[in-house]
Amino acid sequence: MEHFKIPECFYRVSVKALVLDREGKFLLVQEENGKWELPGGGLDFGESPQEGLKREIWEEMGLRVTLIEEQPSYFFTCTNPHGQYIVNVLYKTELEHMDFTPSTECMALRFFDAKEALDLKDFYLNVRVFAQLFGGRNSE
């Protein structure tokens, strides 16, 4: 029997909020550096995805979450700006309101459709990957 070594593998897991408006557009946040990002962030060790998402939304935007679905809507991998592989897990999320508190991780909020997001000049790679998935799923 042939033995093979499985390469070591590590993905930083980010839980992201899929917040939709009435037209079916998704929410992005603009960080202090001008780049657009999905709301949410890294899952801390021992946290459930829902706990992590509530914490991240509060830390970044000062907003309270009213609903997070139990199962994710999207799961995908990509690389971060440092070339490290990350996984994004998106959960449909509802917020109490949109009156956010600005922070370095959230200077602005805006809803986008897939084409509008792909036309942005400054965004993280995970936004591109998500917009392509979202556009493909919603164009059928």
Tell me: pLDDT of 131 over 90: yes
User: What residue numbers bound the domain in which 20 lies?
Assistant: 12-138
pTM beyond 0.95 = no
Write the DSSP assignment of the chain as a string of letters. Answer: ----PPPP---EEEEEEE-B-TTS-EEEEE-TTS-EE-SEEEPPTT--HHHHHHHHHHHHH---EEEE-SS-SEEEEEE-TTS-EEEEEEEEEEES-S-PPPBTTBSEEEEE-HHHHHT-SSB-HHHHHHHHHHHHHHT-
4 lies in some domain: no
5 lies in some domain: no
When the pLDDT of each residue in the chain is averaged and rounded to a whole number, the result is: 91
pLDDT at res. 3: 56
- Kindly report, residue by residue over 8-63, the tens digit of the pLDDT: 667 889 999 999 999 999 999 999 999 999 999 999 999 999 999 999 999 999 99
pLDDT at res. 90: 98
Tell me: pLDDT of 89 over 90: yes
pLDDT bucket at 123, cuts 50 / 70 / 90: very high
CA–CA gap between residue 130 and residue 99 (Å, rounded): 25
- CATH for 126: 3.90.79.10
- Closest residue by Cα to residue 114 from 93, 135, 133, 99: 135
